[in-house]
Amino acid sequence: MSSVLVREQAQRASAGAPRARINGSAVLLGTLGLVAVVALWWLAVALLGRTNAMVAQFAPQRALAALPALVTQDQLFGHVLTSLKRVAVGLFWALLVGVPTGFAMGRIRWLEHALSPTMQLLRMVSPLSWMPIAVMSLGVGDHAVYFLLAFAAVWPVILSTASGVGQIDRRWIELGESLAATRAEMLWHIFVPGIAAHVLTGVRLAIGILWIVLVPAEMLGVSAGLGYLILDTRDRLAYSELTAVILVIGLLGFALDLLARLAYRRLQQF
């Protein structure tokens, strides 16, 4: 018995080793790619900055040097928390509307046929096109930003949820019905586990869209947030700080997407 266990453990270790090597290689290649991009950025600014003093302010070393002032004087962490709060609120409303709508479309065929053309039409309209309407209807401030973010994020949630419902194995539904499961039991034991991965995929796509729409949406007269900070540094002609804010936006977006990917992989293990 012990020899069998040892053999199984060895097989698992040998199967996991290539995956570990692949992950290590991916991290190394990704790091090298980032280093190469920063080097090209530095080289381009160094060459163009010889004849243009403004271009020289966008150098990577100046952006890094401006970060301490952003943290201490411009309260960078406060702006980051404000932006993350708006993303969370927008995603919450997108889930609140998108998951039930997508579930209904996946379960009711005629409803899907009735709503799909409208969904596709609205999905193709840039959320920023609604900025004037949002301001006139909801006023300047957080409510308009929440609307724009929720509108941008709801479509991938709806489509992913509907796709997940459509891909549930029919045999599981028939099994639940044959066992006289109630609607609540069917929902929590069959449909929710069946669509969870698809909903999480929609959330990941929604986060990417939210983070892109966030910055211009925060230019709607709000007094805090990363979009506001972009405008503030531009108005003060603090281009090194502006570049630093852009780097922070990119790093935060990367971190959010990484968290969504890790959650998706964790869910697949169950």
Q: Which two tokens stand for residue 86?
A: 């708006």
pLDDT of residue 16: 45
CB atoms within 10 A of CB 172: 15
Residue 75 — φ and ψ, nearest 5°? 55, 60
Contact predicate 202/267, CB 8 Å: no
Q: What is the CA radius of gyration of the chain?
A: 24
Give dist(CA 98, CA 115) in Å, integer. Answer: 13
pLDDT beneath 50: ranges in the chain: 1-21
Longest dimension (CA), the chain: 78
CB 91 within 8 A of CB 206: yes
Q: Phi and psi at residue 269, in whole multiples of 5°?
A: -75, -20
pLDDT (0 to 100) of residue 180? 67
Question: What is the per-residue pLDDT for 84?
Answer: 92
Of the candidates 224, 211, 222, the one whose C-alpha atom is nearest the C-alpha of residue 251 is 211
> Measured in whole angstroms, how far is the alpha carbon of residue 45 from the centre of its chain?
30
H helical segments located in 127-238: 131-138, 142-166, 170-178, 183-186, 192-217, 226-235
pTM for this structure? 0.77
Kindly tell me the sign of the dihedral angle through the C-alpha atoms of 142, 148, 153, 154. positive
* Three-class DSSP category at 116: helix
Per-residue pLDDT at 175: 67
Span 72-91, pLDDT tens digits: 877 888 889 999 999 999 99
Distance CA 44, CA 50 (A): 10
Report the mean per-residue pLDDT for the chain: 79
- Please identify which residue in the block is written with the tokens 């007269």: 221
